[in-house]
Structure formats: structure tokens, C-alpha cells
């Protein structure tokens, strides 16, 4: 039996920041939800593109050649190899679509790295 996913309900299941949760899969990609506030780390993904869709709030994707501001309902695709850093002054909720192999911190391993994601 197929089950629908309600994004708002899934977002109510967690409050931690910079810790993506898997909410579905399509082919070789995972659909993830993440909340964050503040600055993440500069990083890139050698082999994976990422899509960031703003569900609630706003954030800035810092890029080495200029920043992109995103509002609710807008999305940005960051191509593989492009260094980026998400920054949000206030809490933002994001839907991510990215290959299953994508590590949240990409080519950087530090205290923000989440190697095993939780499914909700």
C-alpha cells in the first residue's frame, strides 16, 4: 500500500538542526527534511548534485562567486563540485533531494558530519 507523506507532520517530529531525516526515496535519490539555523560549513560534493527547497523560512546559500537568497517555495540546485555554505539567521526548514551517497558535509569530515541518517 502506498502512503502519502505530509511534510508538515514530518517536520513536527524533530527539532534538531543540521541533522537531515530521510522521508522517502526515488530511484537512487533520497528525499530528506532538515532544519537549521546559523552557519553550516563550506563544503562540496565531488559526485553529487543537491536540491534545496525552502519549505518554511528563508536562508542564504553562500557560494564562492556570490550568494543566493531563497524564500519559501523556492529551490536551488547546487551542482556537484560547487563549494557552498548554507546560512540562516532564523530557523529554516528545507526539503533536500540528493543521491543516497551524499554525505551532509561532503568533502569535509567534522563534528557536523552525520554518517547514518534516521528515517522518519
d(CA 32, CA 29): 10
pLDDT the model gives residue 22:
97
Indicate if the pLDDT at residue 55 is higher than 90: yes
Residue among 21, 18, 13, 19 at smallest CA distance from 40: 18
Q: How far apart are CA 107 and CA 92, in angstroms?
A: 23
User: How far is it, in rounded angstroms, from Cα 31 to Cα 23?
Assistant: 6
Q: What domains sit in the chain, N to C, each tagged with a CATH number? A: 7-119 (2.60.120.10)
Identify the band that residue 92 occupies on the pLDDT scale cut at 50, 70 and 90: very high
Maximal C-alpha separation, the chain: 46
The per-residue pLDDT for 90 is 98
Residue predicted with more confidence, 82 or 110: 82
Amino acid at each position: 500500500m502506498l502512503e502519502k507523506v505530509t511534510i508538515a507532520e514530518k517536520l513536527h517530529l524533530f527539532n534538531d538542526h543540521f541533522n537531515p531525516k530521510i522521508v522517502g526515496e526515488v530511484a537512487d535519490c533520497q528525499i530528506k527534511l532538515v532544519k537549521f539555523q546559523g552557519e553550516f560549513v563550506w563544503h562540496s560534493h565531488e559526485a553529487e548534485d543537491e536540491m534545496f527547497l525552502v519549505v518554511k523560512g528563508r536562508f542564504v546559500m553562500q557560494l564562492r562567486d556570490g550568494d543566493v537568497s531563497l524564500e519559501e517555495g523556492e529551490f536551488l540546485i547546487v551542482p556537484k563540485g560547487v563549494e557552498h555554505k548554507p546560512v540562516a539567521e532564523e530557523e529554516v526548514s528545507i526539503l533536500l533531494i540528493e543521491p543516497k551517497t551524499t554525505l551532509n558535509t561532503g568533502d569535509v569530515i567534522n563534528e557536523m558530519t552525520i554518517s547514518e541518517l534516521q528515517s522518519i
